Structure 1
Amino acid sequence: MAQSGLNRLRHSEAANGLLLVSPTAIYAILLLAGPLLTIFAYSFFKDGYLTVIREFTFGNYLATWQDPIFRAILLRSLLVSGLVTLATVVLAFPVAYFLSFQVSPARKSLWLFLITIPFWTSYLIRVFLWKVILGYNGVINSGLKSLGIMGDGRLIEDPLQMLNTVGAITATLAHAYAPFAILPIFVALEKIDRSLLEAGQDLGETKLRTFARVTLPLAMPGVVAAVLIVFIPTIGDYVTPELIGGGKMPMVANMIQAQLLPLDNKPLGSAIAISAMAVVALISVGFVLMNRRYLRGAK
């Protein structure tokens, strides 16, 4: 009896599927869930001098949400991440549309390959390059000076101050995450049945109205995926606010780093991290629920 049950289990597609993904699942649990659970546990402990007192308390969360600095930095992080997401998706959609509808099938692989070229270099190097571009004596200011636009008595007298601004952080992050937005939108556009677009135009619709009423709604699953893929990691970015913002415009990740390392307050830093993750999760779930009709239509 047991042997027959074991044979059925061995030939079960579900069991074979679980067996196939089990190494990846175990890896994910150990390297992702493990640290998250550790941070969650630490957020309920007390901080001692150079040690952690393992006594349960909600004090870290009370201190986090009562701190006006945390609320201001979290609001700034949401604002910057929202601007980055908006800029990235708005700029990525035309690129994905061009790849899907204008590029011949034989050349699409080449274009996708070109889009992934930025990943050949380190993220840190790309951020440093933007620092060179936007610096006081950087590429943009040097170019304006060489063109005679900037200088005494010129249209622009002093070099532009572009670093340490929200715009600089937004531009850097938008460039870094652009491929992550282009690819899911491209996949969604590729799934659209071209006969639907032809039918719309045959019924007298203009190309613009066909795009608004057919193409865009059918591409929304890719847009939703792009928004989530960009929004969630950018709100926790640490490197760009530190280098491009000069440490003068910290985001929530910089605040967490300050608590965990220089101030050595691991319980409070963990509470800030969990609070930020909870806010991001609520916003992400709300965004998905707002667009569930598009996601249902894609199934």
Structure 2
Amino acid sequence: MDQDRKRGLTLIAPPLIYALALLAGPLLAILMFSFWTQDYLTIDRTPTLANYREALTDPIYRTIMLRSLWISGAVTLVTVILAFPVAYYVSFRVRPDRKSLWLFLITIPFWTSYLLRIFLWKVILGYNGVLNSSLTGLGLIDEPLTFILYNANAVIITLSHAFAPFAILPIFVALEKIDRNLLEAARDLGCGAVTTFFRVTLPLAMPGVVAALLIVFIPTVGDYVTPEQVGGSNGKMIANMIQTQFLGLNNAPMGATLAVIAMMIVTVISLAVVWFARRLAGGRT
């Protein structure tokens, strides 16, 4: 046992050190910076909670943080709600020999640069873009729509498209694991299609749904590029403020403080989602 344990420790030591160096190290540095203060180029390393007090009381930071959570929550709900029917169709309606082709088609957006996809949405949603030009040409609107670009709506649309494959794939995997005999048994017991879906299919697919929720929610809270390109002044998120603190205002401690607060809020929300999903699954069983 001692030899096996030593051999195991030897095998995991390199990746463990690598993970600590590239993940734990930067996080620790950010945490330390959040307790310091900076006056232009001079950093005062005296521990203080001044940054946290300012971040939690200043209405600007609070507004941007709430907007970030609202946008990310909207993106998550829209993406998962639209992704579930796609995953369900591929899992239950597509022939087994064609499922790989469908999954291949779903991952096609990954072939294109993320930044290029954002620019394409700017072209589609622009004042004289594809959408407005089409609606104007069809006579459905008299003047171009202005609420679909450079605001939170544009950020939600763009992020929902970008993260759609991340939601489809885990839901599809969860649906594939469902024993079809259970669905047949539910129908034999008199359950209709809707009842079978809500009492059998959906509860068994909840692990995939929860995974999709977390996979979409966590990175979208900290997304920087999309709000910068299509968000305008009313679509900025917390990552944009963090970038401004580090590079624009030369206040790295405040930027680090905002990053720490954002990570804590995301962690609490994610744990709450997992807890609620487990309670819901336990109640149904």
TM-score w.r.t. length of structure 1: 0.90
1:255 aligns with 2:241: yes
After superposition, the C-alpha distances for 1:14-66 in whole angstroms (9 at most, x for unaligned) are x6555444443333222222111111010011212213221111111011101
AA aligned to 2:108 is I
Distance 1:22 1:294 in 2: 39
1:131 aligns with 2:110: no
Tell me, yes or no, if the aligned pair for 2:151 and 2:233 is still in contact at 8 Å.
no
Query: Which 5+ residue runs of structure 2 have no aligned equivalent?
Result: none
Distance 2:8 2:193 in 1: 45
Deviation at 1:295, TM superposition (A): 6.5
Alignment-derived partner of residue 226 in structure 2? 240
Alignment-derived partner of residue 3 in structure 1? none
Distance 2:281 2:242 in 1: 34
Among residues 198, 207, 219, which one is paired with 2:193 in the alignment?
207
Alignment-derived partner of residue 11 in structure 1? 4
AA aligned to 2:67 is R
1:166 aligns with 2:152: yes
After superposition, the C-alpha distances for 1:243-278 in whole angstroms (9 at most, x for unaligned) are 111244211111111111110000111111101111
After superposition, the C-alpha distances for 1:77-120 in whole angstroms (9 at most, x for unaligned) are 11111100000000000011011111111111111111111111
Q: How many residues align?
A: 282
Distance 1:295 1:206 in 2: 21
Distance 1:95 1:16 in 2: 45
Query: Which 5+ residue runs of structure 1 have no aligned equivalent?
Result: 1-7, 150-154
Distance 1:275 1:93 in 2: 31
AA aligned to 1:244 is V
Among residues 82, 94, 101, which one is paired with 1:103 in the alignment?
94
AA aligned to 2:227 is P
Q: Choose 159-168 or 199-208, whichever is displaced more.
A: 159-168
Tell me, yes or no, if the aligned pair for 1:141 and 1:160 is still in contact at 8 Å.
yes
Distance 1:287 1:207 in 2: 27
Q: Choose 262-271 or 239-248, whichever is displaced more.
A: 239-248
Distance 2:13 2:183 in 1: 43
TM-score w.r.t. length of structure 2: 0.94
Alignment-derived partner of residue 5 in structure 1? none
Alignment-derived partner of residue 252 in structure 2? 266
Tell me, yes or no, if the aligned pair for 1:177 and 1:230 is still in contact at 8 Å.
yes
Q: Which has the larger radius of gyration?
A: 1
Indicate the percent of aligned positions where both proteins have the same amino acid. Answer: 62
Q: What's the RMSD between the two structures over aligned residues?
A: 1.7
AA aligned to 1:230 is V
Tell me, yes or no, if the aligned pair for 2:203 and 2:281 is still in contact at 8 Å.
no
Distance 2:12 2:133 in 1: 53
Tell me, yes or no, if the aligned pair for 2:155 and 2:235 is still in contact at 8 Å.
no
Deviation at 1:220, TM superposition (A): 0.4
Distance 2:13 2:114 in 1: 31
AA aligned to 1:285 is L
Among residues 30, 43, 49, which one is paired with 2:21 in the alignment?
30
